[in-house]
Amino acid sequence: MSAELSNNSLINKKVIFEANAFRRVPIHLGAKIDFLPDGTLLLTSGDGFDYKEQAQSLNSHFGKIIRLNKDGSVPSDNPFVDIPNALPEIFSYGHRNMQGLVVMEDGRIFEHEHGPRGGDEFNLIEPGKNYGWPAITYGIDYSGAVISPFTKMDGMEQPLKYWVPSIAPSDMIYYDGDLYPELKNSFLVTALKSRDVKKIKKINSLFSEESIFSNLKSRLRSIGISPSGEIYLLTDGRKGKLLKVTFTEK
């Protein structure tokens, strides 16, 4: 839905997209959005848990990243526009439950998603690519059953990084500001299960990882940056709190 904010109220509301991903239970929704430098909109649509096999199908929006124009129309250069029986909104596929989405200034797209029991992924997203779920995975089912015996397959992308056991990633930002020098040029991933923030930084061709804010001992649901460049954390649960991150010089 698009809308205009006027005096703290939403006006001119309009539905611009409705996913072809109807589900019985409201889980594995994805539901992250961001804009590309060309003004088009990306949004994530999870696999719906019970519908994971459809993440490999191009005729539904389960387990997909979708790209739209601001008015909800389909960009003419989407990768599956001219593919018979494929939904033209699809940008990439083979995803599970996408909780983090970051578009860089240069247009690169980074995403993270929950694996099942292990196999959470941090991915570089490219148009038309297949990210494998559930044909390949580094995780197993919650019951302990094998979902797939394969972790690699031709034509399917490998994650830049994966977590076993699961950290349950919940949100992500890329920080390139100056208020927190130790965090500069890093991805910051909030995690529910590991109860911390993963600071991920690319060094040469490898991604380093450091756990920070673990002293909070809280499931961390979301992270954001204010217009003035301050970082805020949102804890999870009935007693959830909004926390402002402060920096003290050593």
Q: What was the pLDDT predicted at 93?
A: 98
pLDDT < 70 stretches in the chain: 248-250
Tokens of 211: 């756990």
Q: How far is CA 115 from the centre of its chain?
A: 12
Residue 92 β-bridge partners: 65
> What is the pTM for the complete model shown?
0.94
Place of tokens 């033209």: 88
Whole-number Å distance between alpha carbons of 45 and 31: 6
Q: Which residues are catalytic?
A: 28
Torsion of CA 10, 47, 65, 193, to 10 degrees: 80
Side-chain half-sphere of 153: how many Cα atoms within 13 Å?
16
Across 84-159, the runs of DSSP E, i.e. the strands, are 90-93, 97-103, 109-114, 120-125
Whole-number Å distance between alpha carbons of 155 and 105: 28
Q: What was the pLDDT predicted at 73?
A: 97
Residue type, 157: E
Q: What was the pLDDT predicted at 132?
A: 98
In this structure, whether the domain defined by 25-244 belongs to CATH 2.60.40.420 is answered with: no
Q: What was the pLDDT predicted at 250?
A: 55
Q: What was the pLDDT predicted at 249?
A: 61
